[in-house]
Amino acid sequence: MKRSPVKITVVGAGAVGSTLAMRIAEKGLADVVLLDIYRNIAAGKALDILDASPVIGHEQGITGTDDYSEIKGSRIVVITAGLPRKPGMTREELISKNAAIVRDVAEKVKANAPDAIVILVTNPLDTMTFLAHKVTGFKRERVFGMAGILDGSRFTQLAAAELKIPRSSIKALMLGSHGDTMVPVISQTRVSGKPIKDMLKPEALDRIIKRSRDRGAEIVGLLGTGSAYYSPSAAVLPMIEAILNDTKETLVVSACLDGEYGLKGLAIGVPCRIGSSGIEKIEEMPLAEEEKKAFLASAEAIKKTIELL
Ligand code: APR
């Protein structure tokens, strides 16, 4: 595999960050700087990922550090630093600790990688995205969060299993908050081009929606310590690829709204056209009446969390 000379920084060398660093390198997307407050953890994981490169067959460089001068020139910075959930905890309950961490990281990213596009993964996702936008002062086109792709992937996986069909034949759409008020846009969800409502009974659909919404908590409960990381790290890749390859594809990301959908002063999951400069357009898609209501309720829930900052 040829080496891509692009540099991507992943802040937080924990479960999500280190898995993401590995995915980026193994796909040959970029060289990776893995940064953590614990330098040795970042350095050790970077060496371990690097040692697999001859077996996997890539030429990307990976370094682990706690020194922000090493993130200079990063095309993208992904922030995964922060505490994961504990059993019984909601994403929102992470707010005070993770806000302090994201504030600290965002200030250092601003100082050391002022031209980077910043992708948030730390929870509560929408609130942390809004906070990072404020702290960096970067244009909203360059600061957004990963959630909708993960929520959509969870729904797709569960619906495909229920219908016993390939996962690739479902196109799911999850908007709103990455939390208990996420909004499955069933009116726009297609199975091989047909509305999903024609394929699944309402009870089955409700069960799948509930399970996708609670999937993060289900995994937290099973793991005992830590939260999901294979699927969250995977869900960042389409965003990175859309930026690096300027694909201009529409992906659901948590974006800071400024009047779109009648909302301002928050970040929330909406479909956005993503290209080399980040968010190139926020798509205002038509929603069914009850979906619109659920979306506004989700926005209210995010605003309440933002007030806690
Ligand atoms: N600067 C840099 N790194 C930090 C900082 C900081 N100020 N504070 C904490 N970290 C690092 C920790 O040292 C740890 O290595 O962030 C890492 C977090 O890793 P994990 O505890 O394994 O958490 P993880 O499962 O990766 O989740 C990280 O992503 O999906 C979300 O809800 C999840 O908010 C959580 C985040």
Q: Look at residue 113 in the predicted model and tell me its pLDDT.
A: 98
Distance 69 CA to ligand 1 centre (A): 20
Which pLDDT belongs to residue 103?
Answer: 98
Catalytic sites, residue numbers: 178
- CA-nearest residue, atom 29 of ligand 1: 122
Look-up of token digits 């081009």 = 193
Say how many Å lie between the CA of residue 2 and the centre of ligand 1: 31
User: What is the reported pLDDT for 232?
Assistant: 98
Spatial CB neighbours of 300, under 8 Å, sequence gap ≥ 6? none
Alpha carbon of 214 to ligand 1 centroid (Å): 21
* Rounded Cα gap, residues 149 and 299, in angstroms: 18
H-assigned helices in 142-186: 148-163
Give, in order, the Cα–Cα distances in Å from 276 to each of 39, 130, 223, 239: 31, 21, 37, 10
Take atom 33 of ligand 1 and give the residue whose Cα is closest.
84
pLDDT for residue 1 is more than 80: no
**Domains assigned to the chain:** 7-146 (3.40.50.720)
Q: Which of 10, 71, 77, 83 to mutate to test the pocket of ligand 1 (most atoms within 8 A of CB)?
A: 83
Which of 10, 16, 95, 229 to probe ligand 1 with, by most ligand atoms within 8 A of CB?
Answer: 16
Distance 166 CA to ligand 1 centre (A): 34
Render pLDDT for 41-85 as a digit per residue (tens, 0 to 9). Answer: 999 999 999 999 999 999 999 999 999 999 999 999 999 999 988
- Residue with the smallest CA separation from ligand 1 atom 10 is 81
Q: Which atom of ligand 1 is nearest to the CA of 229?
A: 25
pLDDT tens, residue by residue, 253-263: 999 999 999 99
List CB contacts of 149: < 8 A, sequence separation 6 or more. 235, 236, 238, 239, 251, 252, 253
Distance 231 CA to ligand 1 centre (A): 16
- For ligand 1, is residue 13 a contact (CB within 6 Å)? yes
CB of 42 shorter than 6 A to ligand 1: no
- pTM, rounded to two decimals: 0.97
122 lines ligand 1 (CB under 6 A): yes
The confidence band for 266, taking pLDDT boundaries of 50, 70 and 90, is very high
Nearest atom (ligand 1) to Cα of 16: 26
> Of 84-88, 105-109, 198-202, which range is least confident?
84-88
- Ligand 1 atom closest to the Cα of residue 122 is 34
3-state secondary structure of 110: helix
